[in-house]
Structure 1
């Protein structure tokens, strides 16, 4: 059956092939689409909190805004989840929201049902760290546990020649194990060029073939100074190295993905040197 209609000079054809849905039917159909999309059932959303209000039932309603485009996304934290939030958002804050996108039938609009909130900045770096850590762990890059030689005759050190940690390593090795042959493979250990520089230094040691163990070291610093040791290229170079790798990066409180990929991770460059030689 075909029904023709004319309005404002335009002709419309209503045919049997075109579906007919009620308003509720449209909402239910969109809900089913969102519920079946693996990308939208669990995702992180970044944005600025442009409104934040808790209603009398204890639910927290947010509006997240994209500062660049002006797009807005409504969000809600149900009352039972508010006590589990890691922090309480305020208007003007940049945040990361973890949740599920869904359709609110009563208002026929989509919104984010939020499970967790993190402040952007350090929160974003921590999120990326954990995501990369989980992915590399699933690949088996953190499974290295090769034994270190008991009495090494030749070791290699990858570090900056200007780093205080390199001086600490030399003093420790000379005091504990005189006569040890030490090959130094210089690298940048801070900045944008550092990951490629570290990878090249590790490759030089492997190509040389004399070292029985490799020590990758850098002294302490701010978290951003150690970012190169969380770079995927560096992690893969350590995991794929043909000889055991010992890391001595930062201070005791510091944790990098390079430490996870190494065969042994010490808290400092000095502690790493102490671990390598008797």
Structure 2
């Protein structure tokens, strides 16, 4: 046996040390397609293969790290794996001990969008409680879109048809490409500074999904949230909502629909005005009838009050008694019974013979008239 011969265990251990101690292999990114997947209680086991099928390697995410993955991969998905190389001496196999898995291509974009959505949702941007009601009859509406977009023409025609008296303020913006997010945010801020519009429509016509990426940009979401007036979005046609739709006060599927939501048709306004007039007339008639009936009821009660009011009857009885007492004490009634009142010249009543003297002139007050007499003899 050659002196340089190695045992299987010795060679395997040498390779293990060589691989696992190499700094470049302790933490590296590997890109490939997931061709098999087995989610076991001890860990997540999957195979990462070259897109051309020329090579493959086994990967594992041990149970303690599985909950930290951003996303669980799927068979057929292209991913980028962060991990370190391990070699099992008993089987002579190496595998990638995985620390993190990121989707590639559209999956990576979706992941980033979901992360941004979750972060903005945590800040309360999508809370239904913060959405504001639209003004029922706005007189001035601002439109943010591209001047060359079909959406601008659709909105103008719709608003003109529904209510030609509404004033439309245009704030141009780029709505596609890398420059679009900053341009849209600037256009919205321009409307806010102008401070005339009661409502904002942010619109873009249909297009490919990638053409609408600017409406998932954080700058656009924050610009919409900062608007002091309600915002309606009309972006694309019949698709999943973008982040701009979620933060807006109302999301429409098309620019035309956004314009229809913004203002009611003038015929509807006229009909509503007529209905309010009719309702007001009916209310006034009902109120007049109710008040008339109430007045008649009060009149009837007033007429019946002497016959049914016990306090009034008691008061009338007391009044009669007082009248009888007053009549009994009336001096005129005493005179009617044959008495007379004698008064001296100064008007004082003669109450006894001592009050007069012989020859004094007195006035006698009778029940009907007065006479003047002279005292002939003092009987005091």
**Fold equivalence (TM over 0.5):** yes
TM-score between both structures, scaled by the size of structure 2: 0.50
TM-score between both structures, scaled by the size of structure 1: 0.67
Aligned residue number for residue 112 of structure 1: 98
- Check whether the contact 2:60–2:95 (CA below 8 A) recurs between aligned residues: no
- Check whether the contact 2:45–2:58 (CA below 8 A) recurs between aligned residues: no
How is 1:124-143 mapped onto 2 (pairs within 5 angstroms)? Answer: 124-143=108-127
Deviation at 1:248, TM superposition (A): 0.5
Q: 1:263 aligns with which of 245, 249, 253?
A: 249
Aligned residue number for residue 198 of structure 2: 212
**Given the alignment of the two structures, is residue 148 of structure 1 paired with residue 134 of structure 2, yes or no?**
yes
**Given the alignment of the two structures, is residue 48 of structure 1 paired with residue 31 of structure 2, yes or no?**
yes
Q: 1:158 aligns with which of 128, 132, 144?
A: 144
Aligned residue number for residue 175 of structure 1: 161
Computing the radius of gyration over CA atoms, which structure comes out larger, 1 or 2?
2
Distance of 1:53 and 1:244 partners within structure 2: 50
**Given the alignment of the two structures, is residue 200 of structure 1 paired with residue 186 of structure 2, yes or no?**
yes
Distance of 1:46 and 1:166 partners within structure 2: 47
Q: 2:230 aligns with which of 236, 244, 249?
A: 244
Distance of 2:165 and 2:213 partners within structure 1: 34
Deviation at 1:61, TM superposition (A): 3.4
Deviation at 1:195, TM superposition (A): 0.8
The root-mean-square deviation of aligned C-alpha atoms, in Å, is 3.6
Question: Could you list the per-position Cα deviations for residues 239-276 of structure 1 after superposition, in whole angstroms to 9, with x for gaps in the alignment?
Answer: 11111111000111142111111111111111111111
| Long gaps (5+) in structure 1 | 1-44, 66-71
More helix by share: 2
- Check whether the contact 2:35–2:47 (CA below 8 A) recurs between aligned residues: yes
Question: Could you list the per-position Cα deviations for residues 109-168 of structure 1 after superposition, in whole angstroms to 9, with x for gaps in the alignment?
Answer: 871278x885x2111111111000000010111233101100000010000011111111
Distance of 1:199 and 1:138 partners within structure 2: 22
Aligned residue number for residue 88 of structure 1: 75
Distance of 1:86 and 1:110 partners within structure 2: 15
More strand by share: 1
Distance of 2:135 and 2:173 partners within structure 1: 24
- Check whether the contact 1:73–1:112 (CA below 8 A) recurs between aligned residues: no
**SS of the residue aligned with 2:233?**
strand
CA 53–186 in structure 1, closer or farther in 2 if over 3 Å, else same: closer
Question: Could you list the per-position Cα deviations for residues 49-80 of structure 1 after superposition, in whole angstroms to 9, with x for gaps in the alignment?
Answer: 2785679x9x7433489xxxxxx9962379xx
The count of residues paired between Structure 1 and Structure 2 equals 217
Aligned residue number for residue 61 of structure 1: 46
Distance of 1:212 and 1:87 partners within structure 2: 48
CA 130–50 in structure 1, closer or farther in 2 if over 3 Å, else same: closer
